[in-house]
Structure 1
Amino acid sequence: MNLPAVVTRLVNAQNKYDSKAYAECFTNTAIVHDEGKQYNGKEEIRQWIEEANEKYKSLMKPLKYKETALKAVLTAEVSGTFPGSPIVLQFHLELKDNLIDSLKVTP
């Protein structure tokens, strides 16, 4: 599967539990929506993923990637220490200047 470089970096950062590298995949004004909450900017995104990594120890395995213009959807199997693991989630991405400007995680 051919993923854009920023998406590959995001998956690698997640699988290494590297919250700093994960946050660097986003624009300074990026927004993340996950589990009914919103996180704004790199620092909030770094804190969110750091807490999620500590709590769930999630690993991502990309299954499918579809891109149209500046929007994309990464479908990935996510496993970790949460009930129902593994689960297939969709990562709805908006890309800007080779970075992620928006991410919404849905089942």
Structure 2
Amino acid sequence: MHDNQPRTPDALPEVITRYLKAHRAHDTATAVTAFTGEATVIDDGNTYQGTEEIEGWLGRSATEFTYTIHLTNAQQSDATHYIATHHLEGDFPGGTVDLRYQFTLRDDLIERLVIEP
């Protein structure tokens, strides 16, 4: 299981799939339930700490730009670390980008999410 092989999206843990599905649907209320209370999100160089800040970040990212997001790769690096690579296209600066969503899980919830190219 710990071999860094590319994995199919359905091989991702349920909590990550739930978060990604809710995020794509702009369902902030559901997306935020995937995180621990003290979770950290790092996106675009900004750090969001705790449920309230993460909820604000999710709300902003849902409304700031219009884009499509496709999961292109998923891999597990160890028991609690997963990377989901997404291809985004939309009206944000640059128009297209591939982003790596790096998840750290604790107790079947997302404790840390780092999003970077």
Which residue of the partner structure matches residue 3 of structure 1?
12
Which residue of the partner structure matches residue 4 of structure 2?
none
Shift of 1:15: 1.2
Shift of 1:80: 2.9
Which residue of the partner structure matches residue 99 of structure 2?
89
Matches of 1:79 and 1:42, distance apart in 2: 27
Give 3-state SS (helix, strand or coil) of 2:12's partner.
coil
- The structure number with the bigger radius of gyration is 2
Which residue of the partner structure matches residue 14 of structure 1?
23
Q: 1:11 touches 1:60 (CA, 8 Å); kept in 2?
A: no
Q: Where do 5+ consecutive residues of structure 1 fail to align?
A: none
Which amino acid is 2:91 matched to? Answer: T
Which amino acid is 1:23 matched to? Answer: V
Identity of aligned residues (%): 30
CA RMSD of aligned residues (A): 1.3
- Cα distance, 1:20–1:55 mapped onto 2, change above 3 Å: same
Per-residue displacement from partner, 1:19-40 (whole Å, max 9, x unpaired)? 1111111000100001111101
Which amino acid is 2:80 matched to? Answer: L
- Cα distance, 1:96–1:74 mapped onto 2, change above 3 Å: same
Matches of 1:24 and 1:79, distance apart in 2: 26
Q: Where do 5+ consecutive residues of structure 2 fail to align?
A: 1-7
TM-score by length of 2: 0.84
Matches of 2:115 and 2:96, distance apart in 1: 15
Q: How many residues align?
A: 107
Match of 1:98 among 108, 111, 114: 108
Matches of 1:91 and 1:29, distance apart in 2: 18
Which amino acid is 2:103 matched to? Answer: L
